[in-house]
Amino acid sequence: MRNVCVIAGGQCQWGVRQATERDLFQEAGKACFEDNKIITNKDIDGLIVGSAFTERCSFQTHLAPLVAEHLGIKPKNICARVELLCATGSTGIIMAAALIKSGEADVVMVIGGEKLYTPQRWEVNYTALAASDHDFDTGMGLGLPPPAFAAVAKQHMKLYGTTEEQLAMVSIKNRRNGLNNSKGQYKEEITLEVAMNARAIVRPLKLFDCCPVTDGAAAIILAAEEKAKYLTDKPLVYFRGSAQASLHNMSANMPSWTTWEALKIAAQQAYNKARVTPQDIDVAQTHDCFTISEIIEYEDLGFCQKGEGGWFIEEGKSDFGGQVPVNTDGGLLSSGHPFGATGIRQGIEIIRQLRGDAVRQVEGARIGLTHNLSGLMAAHTVLIYGRDLE
């Protein structure tokens, strides 16, 4: 079996952008090529494009050939789009790695993004209603994420004593981590007082407990090891393994609101494939769409025991210098969350951490993990990268 390496990554400026979807994709592609001056668009034989809301927010589908054309890429082995809502970007990376491992392609760019702020500002919220099971959940008020995640938070607080202050600490940490991330949506620290007194979205979730709506795109390039050696002058980063699990879609079939069984399955499958344990992870980017999400992810990724997530953030275990620094570039809470790009941004931050050239560096990081979730905690995607294969 061929080994797969990640050899470049870059993103455009994220935030509220006066630009079209195709502008964002072009800027991200350009930034990716700027990260690696050896590789050119002619080296790329595969393109995977990720976007969740392109049909409705940009009225443009068949996006893969369009993006290929605008980046001057002429893929001869694969040119397609993938979608798994909030986990779209990491899904693209899984597909690209499999295509390379299997010999179907040698050098694949994965690029994802969204233009969510439209002149019709209601478009993104309206479209989000299509993401839940609209026959069964949207009618219950679970069409948009905040009510569902507020229910998760309430339940976690009741079962395990997690506090609103602990939720706030996640956003304080991630805002601090994002301070020097020049491409992220926010570069402002917040204090506990500001977070606790912010307006409610759906109680107990307040403004800073929720990631924002974001325009943005990001790109990453994967290659077979034998090609990668000649296509980069930076340290090689290996794709070690991944998994993506789903046990339910509609809320009525969810096994548990506070233990995300599909995440536990995906994590275990990914750890097995990468031949590592949770204790081996040096740095992680997890899906902090809401502060409560990151707390549950500490638990279900195996960084701590069930119910200890609140304590994990409070004790600084997920901060620099702690057990496993999480969301070192600011995560969704500070960088923003253009669905198709998020998993790719996470991958970029992990490869920088493993190469040793991150903006905020975790010293000596050798193994990194990314996690995305989509829907009502329905599908979970876990990817593991390493500086070595063993």
| Alpha-carbon dihedral sign for residues 299, 303, 305, 307 | negative
244 binding a copy of itself? (CB under 8 A): yes
d(CA 276, CA 369): 11
Asked whether 6 and 106 are in contact (CB, 8 A), the reply is no
Closest CB to a copy of itself among residues 20, 180: 20
Could you give the string, one character per residue 2-21, with x where binding to a copy of itself holds by CB under 8 A and - elsewhere?
Answer: ------------------x-
Q: Which stretch binds a copy of itself (CB under 8 A): 87-95, 199-207, 208-216, 277-285?
A: 87-95
Residues 362 to 381 in contact with a copy of itself, rule: CB under 8 A: 374-375, 378-379
Residue 244 structure tokens = 């993506």
135 is an interface residue for a copy of itself by CB under 8 A = yes
**Which contacts qualify for 65-71: CB closer than 8 Å, 24 or more apart?**
66/22, 67/22, 67/25, 67/29, 67/111, 70/22, 70/25, 70/26, 70/29, 71/25, 71/26, 71/29, 71/41, 71/47, 71/109, 71/111
H/E run at residue 101: helix 88-101
Q: Is 289 a catalytic residue?
A: no
Q: At what angle do helices 145-160 and 291-300 cross, to 10 degrees?
A: 60
- Does 179 help bind a copy of itself (rule: CB under 8 A)? no
Q: Write out the two tokens for 318.
A: 């997920």
What is the closest distance, in whole angstroms, from the C-beta atom of residue 119 to a copy of itself in the complex?
A: 16
Would residue 337 show up in a list of annotated catalytic residues for this protein?
A: yes
Stretch that binds a copy of itself, among 150-158, 226-234, 262-270, 364-372 (CB under 8 A): 262-270
Catalytic residue among 32, 210, 304, 337: 337
* Residue 290 · residue 164 · CB < 8 Å: no
In the complex, what is the shortest distance from the CB of residue 11 to a copy of itself, in angstroms, rounded to a whole number?
22
Residues noted as catalytic = 86, 337
> Applying CB under 8 A, which residues contact a copy of itself?
1, 20, 22, 47, 52-53, 55-56, 59-62, 64-66, 68-69, 74-85, 87, 91, 94-95, 97-99, 101-104, 127, 129-135, 242-250, 253, 265-266, 269, 273, 374-375, 378-379
